[in-house]
């Protein structure tokens, strides 16, 4: 019966900023249509909010975690990933770092966590390191650069995918350090990388901020090491084997002429 409680309804109407109804509350609070109207408005705003967050998150297509083949990587802590799906790390601004060679599922795991965060009501932005750093370096003036900094600093969760696949200049390193610093201990970052932190000086050659960058990134972070062969390469081999098998079956299929001879 809470939906019929005038005080509760008034609070809900206030949260929805239904100022017209609030201004005439004495006339409307006991109307039978009011609870249903407020519920419709709440549901619609929830739906639209989710649509906006999904669109702005830019997670894209993903393979559901339920379909992830945990037995394929030689090393991957499934229990820890499942704990991360609780999203507790977001409450204290902790970071997650997934380290491993190409094709072992780092991006798949990061996308699933990010998608779950969106569905749970958090603001999220998924980007590759190259896309983010190239966008930041392309800004001409300080005002434009500050707007881009806010774009990457404000979401509750920022996912930076594929750190280490390319080498970057000192300018790129400084910009990444600025993003990490602005989010430090307040908003979480998920990083996927194919390079251990000891090799990050090769990603950002001669950049003086690399030690500080790594230090701030790993402070209050959990690191998951994934080892194994590329799952994408495995899938490619299986597709090729299936294609060859199908071709062989077609080549030995008996023709009508061959059946007559038999």
DSSP code at position 17: T
Domain check: are 37 and 99 in the same one?
no
Chain-centre distance for alpha carbon 228? 23
Residues 77 and 68: beta-carbon distance below 8 Å: no
Q: Can you read off the two tokens belonging to residue 33?
A: 């249509």
Closest alpha carbon to 223 in 196, 186, 185, 183: 196
Q: What is the pLDDT of residues 97-119, one digit of tens each?
A: 999 999 899 999 999 999 999 99
Query: 139 vs 3, which has greater pLDDT?
Result: 139
Domain check: are 128 and 217 in the same one?
yes
Return d(Cα 149, Cα 170) in angstroms, integer: 17
Domain check: are 51 and 79 in the same one?
no
Domain check: are 34 and 84 in the same one?
no
Q: What is the pLDDT of residues 115-149, one digit of tens each?
A: 999 999 999 999 999 999 999 999 989 999 999 99
- Residue 158 in this model has a pLDDT that exceeds 70: yes
Q: What is the pLDDT of residues 11-40, one digit of tens each?
A: 999 999 999 999 999 999 889 999 999 999
Domain check: are 47 and 70 in the same one?
no
Q: How many domains does the chain have?
A: 2
Give me the domain span that covers residue 13: 2-56
Return d(Cα 25, Cα 99) in angstroms, integer: 57
| Domain at 106, CATH number | 3.40.50.300
Which range scores top for mean pLDDT: 7-16, 79-88, 239-248?
79-88
Domain check: are 52 and 72 in the same one?
no
């Amino acid at each position: 019966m809470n939906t019929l409680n005038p005080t509760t309804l008034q609070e809900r109407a206030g949260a929805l900023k239904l100022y017209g109804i609030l201004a005439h509350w004495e006339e409307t609070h006991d109307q039978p249509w009011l609870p249903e109207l407020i519920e419709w408005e709440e549901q619609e705003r929830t739906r639209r909010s989710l649509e906006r967050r999904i669109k702005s998150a830019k997670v894209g297509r993903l393979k559901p975690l339920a379909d992830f083949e945990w037995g394929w990587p030689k090393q991957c802590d499934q229990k820890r990933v499942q704990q991360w799906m609780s999203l507790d790390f977001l409450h204290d601004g902790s970071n997650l770092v997934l380290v491993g060679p190409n094709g072992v599922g780092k991006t798949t795991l990061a996308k699933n966590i990010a998608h779950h965060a969106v569905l749970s009501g958090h603001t999220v932005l998924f980007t590759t390191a190259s896309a983010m750093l190239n966008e930041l370096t392309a800004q001409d003036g300080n005002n434009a650069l500050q707007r881009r900094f806010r774009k990457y600093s404000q979401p509750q969760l920022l996912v930076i995918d594929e750190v280490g696949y390319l080498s970057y200049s000192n300018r790129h390193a400084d910009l990444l350090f600025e993003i990490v610093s602005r989010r430090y201990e307040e908003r979480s970052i998920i990083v996927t990388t194919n390079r251990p932190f000891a090799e990050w000086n090769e990603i950002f050659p001669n950049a003086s901020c690399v030690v500080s960058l790594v230090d701030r990134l790993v402070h209050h972070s959990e690191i998951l090491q994934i080892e194994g062969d590329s799952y994408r390469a495995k899938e490619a081999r299986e597709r090729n084997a299936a294609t060859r098998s199908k071709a062989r079956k077609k080549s030995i299929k008996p023709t009508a002429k061959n059946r007559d001879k038999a």
